[in-house]
Structure 1
């Protein structure tokens, strides 16, 4: 590997609000708070005004428009505005692969209604929680809108989505271990637009899934390879033993020089104690993030750079195991990674983008 670190409703559009002049005795609407700014980060409880109404953030958000995203709670009209009457709708049956626009309401196969929060090419409403939210449709089946809060620190992958991606994972690979490890590389899955962040998270997790059989294996399974990962030409040698630097963790950290470099970067004694990677979930995730964010491997850029600079998922394969898989080396393995990435991208409700192969 180099080494194997691997129609808001259709009818609603025609609804007309009836404005009744306020009498002198009618209470005035609240003052508008500071206007919402798309680039600003808001955390739970913070407020902003938009389109004549005040809104309160339920949890961490950035770039999600008040009134169009479930993260915002409506606090009422401000600055003399009035509250429009509730809209009614006639939902159409959801069709996979049909293009939907933000505000479209559909009836899913279970009889429940969902509203599109963002334009999408027909993603499944029960999977793509970024693009769809449960919706109460007047005159139809009603459901409670419940969107899971984002992960700690604003990670774009919720724990429920993580579990959906890895239904058979080894208990060693904890979600909390991953989110704790992310503090070492704060740019991971937090650089660029929300789409880019979700694509990077999906790409990283897809590659770790491939390397570990779905986050099942903690260590490399072929023990015959273990003695091969000691480069004795390095001045520091292999103090933990010649057969101690086999693949471990989500991207299967291998070779003494990689353990040395990762340990130096993370402030961990991995050269002398490589077993930490298979004993501590946070350490294991940190080594994977170290490789993802800092190492080119056999490629020309880091996997992180490939995703945030629109070079595509294929370049992440090249950075992790391109010498063996890319340029026709092992198309079946490349396809396995791509298929997993596409599935994870769908779970996160984002297009996988282009340049998927290497």
Structure 2
């Protein structure tokens, strides 16, 4: 299906009792000052019976239980230790429920807040300690069954408190080449809707994005995507198209499925400002979401919004001859991503100021990631 995006506008695309063992606790606390991280492959945290620390249902919602589960290599079991004291998965932090310091307080996934209940020290003795509570990450009831909830408990040195965790300063939870700190630096004034965790969650839909080729290629692709996104949304400020007069124009009534959400329902939304009923239909079909019937999901769910942007980037060539993803991994260059996104209005001298704006942002973002921008920047 053709999914032309030739009509544009400025900024539119734009997770029981037991006795405390005082000596063991003292040993752990003593180790904190010289703690060094234990190593684990692929970002997993493994523990009792060789099982993994797992986010229940791979659900990134705040409050999702963190549990023990058979290791399966999914994103729900990929943890990072970025060096700021947190342990992260799916773009969020390992968190003690209600900031409790009591034995038996469950752990969960939650937005990273910098709170003491999200601080952890991985010791040389393979304990994971929450210093605020002076307690260890613990498998409840020493039960190795899949789905057993994790908690904090007075450190005992027992097997249900021993872990192999990612090294400090490791990769982000998804393996994404852009860290949350770098993302925030790129978008200092972004709308709170455009969360880093939503982007990380969306990456699972297109695993080749920013993972193809060498490190330079991966970083260039991430920078190229985010630069175009920045241009389309005014720095991740705009969630929806600003010119409401355009809203009724994006219903192509000749399509057999029509515009079930309404004549004026298919205006630009999200990081690439998805517009037109046929684009909502094609993106929804690809992502397994009814965006034709409920286009408002793109402006109400950050992960859905990011997924639509990645859908276009990875699968659509628009007015160009290749997808933006292919442009970056093939070496065709940043200029071809502009052509695929808005070439009919900007390339070949049509709007050099808009092209220059995109190029300047790409150069800025590659500098943040520590790579050169490469050749063929213009279209």
Normalising to structure 2: TM-score of the pair?
0.58
Q: State the Cα distance separating 1:59 from its structure 2 match.
A: 6.4
Q: Which runs of 4+ in 1 moved over 2 A?
A: 1-6, 41-46, 146-150
Distance 2:6 2:220 in 1: 24
Contact 2:43-2:173 within 8 A present in 1 as well: no
Instruction: Find the aligned partners of 2:278 and 2:356 in 1 and give their Cα distance.
Output: 30
C-alpha separation between the residues in 2 aligned to 1:229 and 1:218? Answer: 17
Pick the structure with greater CA Rg: 1
SS at 2:174 equivalent: helix
Alignment correspondent of 2:279? 258
- 1:214-270 CA-to-partner distances (Å, cap 9, x unmatched) read 000000001111111011110101111110000000000000000000000000010
CA RMSD of aligned residues (A): 2.1
Structure 2 partner of 1:43: 42
- 1:274 shift after superposition: 0.2
Residues 198, 348 of structure 1: 8 Å contact kept: yes
Structure 1 148/222 Cα, relative in aligned 2: closer, same or farther at 3 Å? Answer: farther
Q: Give the whole-Å Cα distance in 2 for the aligned partners of 1:42 and 1:331.
A: 47
Q: Displacement, 1:200? A: 0.1
Shift of 1:44: 4.8
For 2:267, the equivalent position in structure 1 comes to 246
Contact 2:283 2:291 in 1 (8 A): yes
Which residue is equivalent to 2:85? Answer: none
Q: Distance in 2 between matches of 1:327 and 1:340?
A: 19
Contact 1:149 1:158 in 2 (8 A): no
Q: What per-residue deviation string (whole Å, max 9, x for no partner) do you get for residues 62-85 of structure 1?
A: xxxxxxxxxxxxxxxxxxxxxxxx
**Structure 1: gaps of 5 or more residues:** 7-40, 47-57, 61-145
Question: Judging changes above 3 Å, is the alpha-carbon distance between structure 1 residues 167 and 147 closer, same or farther for their aligned structure 2 residues?
Answer: farther
Number of equivalent positions: 228
Question: Does residue 192 of structure 1 match 2:192?
Answer: no
Report the counterpart of residue 188 of structure 2 in structure 1.
167
- SS across alignment from 1:210: helix
**Match of residue 73 from structure 1:** none
Query: Cα distance, 1:43 vs. partner?
Result: 3.0
Contact 1:334–1:357 (8 Å) recurs in 2 = yes
Normalised by the length of structure 1, the TM-score is: 0.61
Alignment of 1:1-358 (within 5 A): 1-2=5-6, 4=8, 43-44=42-43, 148-358=169-379
Find the aligned partners of 1:59 and 1:276 in 2 and give their Cα distance: 29
Separation of aligned partners in 1, 2:364 and 2:206:
25
Structure 1 residues 165 and 147: alpha-carbon distance in aligned structure 2, compared to 1, 3 A threshold: farther
Q: Distance in 2 between matches of 1:276 and 1:2?
A: 23
2:126 matched to which residue of 1?
Answer: none
CA distance in 2, matches of 1:346, 1:147: 24
How far apart are residue 275 of structure 1 and its match? Answer: 0.2
Deviation at 1:151, TM superposition (A): 1.5
Gaps of 5+ in 2: 15-39, 46-78, 82-166
Deviation by residue 1:31-85 (Cα, 9 ceiling, x = unmatched) = xxxxxxxxxx953599xxxxxxxxxxx969xxxxxxxxxxxxxxxxxxxxxxxxx
Q: CA deviation at 1:153?
A: 1.9
Contact 2:80 2:173 in 1 (8 A): no
Residues 209 and 147 of structure 1, relative CA distance in 2, 3 Å threshold: farther
The secondary structure found in structure 1 opposite 2:235 is coil
* Mapped contact 2:189–2:235 kept (Cα < 8 A): yes
Q: 1:45 to 1:248 in 2, by over 3 A?
A: closer
- Partners of 1:59 and 1:319 in 2: how far apart? 34
SS of the aligned residue for 1:152 comes to coil
Cα distance in 1 for residues equivalent to 2:366 and 2:169: 18
* Cα distance in 1 for residues equivalent to 2:44 and 2:211: 21
**Alpha-carbon displacement from aligned partner over 1:98-134 (angstroms, at most 9, x marks no partner):** xxxxxxxxxxxxxxxxxxxxxxxxxxxxxxxxxxxxx
CA contact (8 A) 1:300 1:319 kept: yes
Contact 1:212 1:218 in 2 (8 A): yes
The answer on whether the counterparts of 1:3 and 1:297 sit within 8 Å (CA) in structure 2 is no
User: What SS does the aligned partner of 1:163 have?
Assistant: helix
